[in-house]
Amino acid sequence: MPELPEVETTRRKIEPLLAGRTILQVTHDAPHRYRDTGLAHGRQVSGLSRRGKYLMLHLAAAEADGEEHDLIVHLGMTGGFRLEEGPHTRVTLTTDAGTLYFHDPRRFGKMAVVPRGVYTGMPTLLGMGPEPLSEDFREEEFVRLAANAGAVKPWLLSQKPVSGVGNIYADESLWRARLHPAQSRLTPGEAGRLYHAVRDVMHEAVEAGGSSLGDGLGNYRQHDGEPGAFQGRHAVYGRAGQPCPRCGVPIEKTVLAQRGTHFCPVCQPLRTEDPA
């Protein structure tokens, strides 16, 4: 589930359940994945925010140390919050107003409690590019960086030129911009198209509540048979062999940078000759 639109949807859904509440206990059995969660005990949640695919629970200062903290949550591939305990519950978050369960079948999700804004040891968060839906995401800068970049899809996935783009939305954005996933050194025209494609795709997906959402908490529900609002609008992702919505040619699937990659061989040709 967790690319920017799904994380943002999660944030919106659980904020009413957590904001203003005091965390009584965070229990789990994997301290290397969920670090320093004991620091959250007794602190009030002052608000929730999101940076790329990271969810931040802002914690008020405790009487003992007078220092604000963040409970950073990364959903990994399959993480999500639910109201009920299940076979894949990894973390139980108890507040003075109820309990929230973090489910994560694949255990790629992570949590850590840190002093506010201290992200040492989290290189992706430290090097995170601008939010695609904010004014900090500027076309001129994006075009400048893209001119010297390597293969465009891995570049997008690095979170450096822009934050929150994952495998699904990278493929969808590249299709809209009519760019081959392995294209490098984008021309200003190409990079401009991609800039707007990323913004549009992310905006539409957030409005739709992301892909594959289910029970009202923004959960990963792919095998629960409840398709998300944006999933039905995918042009290429998960559509190998089916016709391109633009030209009708079958969508191809390859592997690029260890990730499944979907594209239209006609609409998204690889430009081999150097632009003049």
Partner DNA sequence: AGGACACCCTGTTGGC
Partner DNA sequence: TGCCAACAGGGTGTCC
Binding pattern for the stretch 19-58 against DNA, x by CB under 7 A and - elsewhere: ---------------------------------xx-----
Active-site hit among 11, 33, 53, 239: 53
Active site residue 53: yes
**Residue 103 beta carbon to DNA: minimum distance, rounded to whole angstroms:** 10
Q: Which of 257, 265, 266, 271 binds DNA (CB under 7 A)?
A: 257
Binding pattern for the stretch 206-225 against DNA, x by CB under 7 A and - elsewhere: ----xxx-------x-xx--
Q: Which of 12, 28, 88, 233 binds DNA (CB under 7 A)?
A: 88
106 in a labelled binding site = yes
CA of 34: how far to CAs of 11, 16, 128, in Å? 19, 23, 21
Is residue 1 close enough to count as binding DNA by CB under 7 A?
Answer: yes
88 in a labelled binding site = yes
Active site residue 153: no
Active site residue 250: no
Active-site hit among 160, 233, 259, 271: 259
Q: Which residues are catalytic?
A: 2-3, 53, 259
Q: In the complex, which residues of this chain contact DNA (CB under 7 A)?
A: 1-3, 6, 52-53, 74, 76-77, 87-88, 105-108, 121-125, 148-151, 154-155, 157, 159, 166-168, 210-212, 220, 222-223, 228, 255, 257-260
List, as residue ranges, the binding site.
Answer: 88, 106
